[in-house]
Structure formats: structure tokens, C-alpha cells
Structure 1
Amino acid sequence: MDSLPQILAFAGVVMLGSMSPGPDFAVVVRRSVQSGRGHGMAAAAGIAVGVFFWVVAAATGIAALLAASALAFTVVKVVGAAYLLYLGVRAWLAAGRTAGPDASGAPARGGRVSAFSEGLLTNALNPKVAIFMIALVPQFVSAGAGMAQVLTLSAAALVTNALWFGALANLVAVLRRFLARRRVRRAVDYVTGTALIGLGVHLAVSKAP
């Protein structure tokens, strides 16, 4: 896999997967509403790095070992589900604390490093990303592929996710004057919190492939 069309095809499939609503989407939206473009972009960068490592793991067989081991899969699944539940409950609590006619100037919880870590952990602790990559990556990696080929795919996935979630963060930031109003922001917190809790529960009850 060393032709540009194949790299673009891989990036396109990764893009479609990234655009599907999920915990990454909810984290970027909430961070962008809560703290602005910079924090949303930091969360997007964390997600992109997480995807980079999942592609490397899938190409080198590490992700397959995770999926094949019931214990390893369960540990990652439980930790990931607990983290999503934590983020969801925190969003609900933030909605309850929102006060004043306009929350646009409310201080962010944590800085950009915190936003980056949130995006990274949300992606890295999701074994469903591993399953997706296990099914996808081997179709684009030739037998006996070297590390250069693996890194090319990983870089394509990183750039693709950074572009998509970065664009999402910027779009939300443009609308932030409206979205950060007290009632709207509370609604965003409740909706994203509910989504994260629901995704956490769904992940917790999911079974190994």
C-alpha cells in the first residue's frame, strides 16, 4: 500500500467512521461550547493521536491481541465505560451549576492539556475503535509491511481525524455566542452528558467480538 489513491481511500473510510456520532463527537462539541475554539481543537488533537496509535496497534497485531483476549478486552471496556460515565455525570453536574443570563464568559474546567487528555482517553479507552481498525487496516497493509507503511497509514488517519474534529470545533466555536447562552448551554450539557452516559452503558454491556 504505497499509492496515493489507496492512501486517500483509507483516509476516506476513516473519515466516514469518524463522522459517525459517538463519544469523540460529544467531547469535542461540549469542550468547544464550554471553553471555546482552542479547547475544542485540543480535544480534537487528542482524539487524532488516539486514532494514530490504534492504527499502529491494528497494523502490528496489538489490537488483535486485545480483541482476542477476553480479559484484556473486558478491562479496557470497563475502564472506558467508567470514563464515559464520569464525563457524562460531570456534564450533568455542570448543567446544574450553570448560572447567570449568559455563560459565554464562564471559566473552563481545566486547560487545553486537560481537553487534549479528555479527547485522547475517550478514544484510547474505546475498544470499538480497535475492532474497527482491526477490520479496516489489514485491507490496506500488504504482507510483510514495514514500519514506514504503517506510519503512513497512521499519519493519514491522524490528519483525517484532526481535520474533521478540528472543523467541528471551529463550527461550534462560530456558533458559541448562541450556544453558550445559559439555557442553550445547559441543554448542550444535558444532551452531551446523556449521550456520554448512554454510550458508556452501551460499551459496558457490549461483548467481545
Structure 2
Amino acid sequence: MSPGPDFAVVVRRSAVSGRVHGMAAASGIAVGVFAWVVAAATGVAALLAASAAAFTVVKVVGAAYLLYLGVRSLLAAWRGGGTLRLDVPDAGGRGPGAAFMEGFLTNVLNPKAALFFVALVPQFLGAGAPVVALSAAALVGTVAWFLVVANVVGALRKLFARPGVRRAVDALTGVALVALGLKLATSTRP
């Protein structure tokens, strides 16, 4: 629930493109969480955490993707984003599938998520909980939280349609994503 790249993506997607796109991004994030839980439970995430080279590759790719999203958002703020018409499905001309992939990639390219699940999941494996149940619980929790975020921001979309507010959202999420990308790029393995 803490603000991070996933949160920034859902807020921006919901504010700029509407509730459906925000929910699609939230669903992509949830699938990414599901994948990390499965990877942690099967030991794949532990290999990533243990391998300096694998960690570095995921870190660099993840940081580059966050920087790409942040710069794209900052450019939208700089250009003013144009007039946001609320009667079209997506002001950017991209569908919910693109929002889903944006959410999925933001989560799955974050090596910190792997480290989080490597630390968390093994505690529950000894209790006899099946991997599917653990993954489903993580999926449900993630999707519930981000669907709330997407719906609240989507409900306020008329406010976000104002050019000044939209520029501010684009600028703030752009700065946040660039900062998170830079932080990820300069992070070291714990």
C-alpha cells in the first residue's frame, strides 16, 4: 500500500485515461505480484536475489522502464497534455491492454519486489500452505487495493480533466517515476 512505482502508474493511468484503464493497470500489477509469489515459492526469486548478475540485469531494465514512464509523463506535462475529453476511452489512443502491460512491467521489472517476496513467502511455505493459495492471496490483496485507488481517482476524473490539474498530475507522477527509477538504478543488493 505504500506509494511506489505501482501506485504512481495506477494514479496516472486512472487520472489521464479513466477508471477502466486504471483498473487494467491494477490488474497488470496484481498479475506481476502473482508471478513474484510463484517465483519466490519455487525458488526462482531466490536465485535472482542470490545472483549479482541477475539482480543487476533486472535492476537496470526496471530502472530504464521507470525512467521511460517518468520522462513520458514529464513530456506530457511540459506539452500541456492538450484538452482531455472525457467522452473518449483513452486520451492517449492506447487501450486497456497497454495499461495492463504498463502495470505488469512496472511490477515485474522491480527487483525489490523479488527481494520482498523472497523474505516473505518462505515463512508461509512451512505451514503447509500451497503455492497457489499464497499467490491467490497476494493477487486478491493487490487487486483490491489498486482497484480502490483506480476507482477513487477515476471518480475524480473531471477534476483531473482541468489542464492545470492534469499537468500537475503528469509532472508529479513523472518526477516520482524518474526519482524511483534513479533510486532503483543506484540501489545495491541488500
Q: Same fold (TM over 0.5)?
A: yes
TM-score interval, normalised by the smaller of the two chains: over 0.9
Inter-partner Cα distance in structure 1 for 2:60 and 2:109: 9
* Structure 2 SS opposite 1:71: helix
CA RMSD between the two structures = 1.4
Identity between Structure 1 and Structure 2 (%)? 67
Inter-partner Cα distance in structure 1 for 2:21 and 2:101: 11
Are 2:68 and 1:74 aligned?
A: no
Contact 1:37 1:169 in 2 (8 A): yes
Are 2:91 and 1:118 aligned?
A: no
* Structure 2 SS opposite 1:140: helix
Matching residue of 2:177: 196
Are 2:132 and 1:151 aligned?
A: yes
Inter-partner Cα distance in structure 2 for 1:104 and 1:25: 24
2:74 corresponds to which letter in structure 1? W
Alignment TM-score, normalising by the size of structure 1: 0.86
Alignment of 1:62-141 (within 5 A): 62-98=44-80, 103-105=84-86, 107-141=91-125
Show structure 1 runs of 5+ residues with no match: 1-18
Inter-partner Cα distance in structure 2 for 1:109 and 1:168: 22
Contact 2:62 2:181 in 1 (8 A): yes
1:163 to 104, 122, 144: 144
1:140 corresponds to which letter in structure 2? F
Inter-partner Cα distance in structure 1 for 2:118 and 2:161: 39
| 1:49-68 Cα deviation digits (max 9, x unpaired) | 00001001111111000010
Inter-partner Cα distance in structure 2 for 1:207 and 1:109: 38
**4+ residue stretches of structure 1 with deviation over 6 A?**
none
* Change in CA separation of 1:129 and 1:186 when aligned onto 2, cut-off 3 Å: same
* Change in CA separation of 1:69 and 1:99 when aligned onto 2, cut-off 3 Å: closer
Inter-partner Cα distance in structure 2 for 1:200 and 1:113: 23
Show structure 2 runs of 5+ residues with no match: none
* Structure 1 SS opposite 2:188: coil
Alignment TM-score, normalising by the size of structure 2: 0.94
Matching residue of 1:175: 156
1:30 corresponds to which letter in structure 2? R
TM-fit CA distance, 1:99: 5.3
Contact 1:104 1:177 in 2 (8 A): no
2:25 to 36, 39, 43: 43
* Change in CA separation of 1:141 and 1:99 when aligned onto 2, cut-off 3 Å: closer
Matching residue of 1:15: none
Contact 2:81 2:166 in 1 (8 A): no
| 1:12-71 Cα deviation digits (max 9, x unpaired) | xxxxxxx11100000000000111000000000000000001001111111000010000
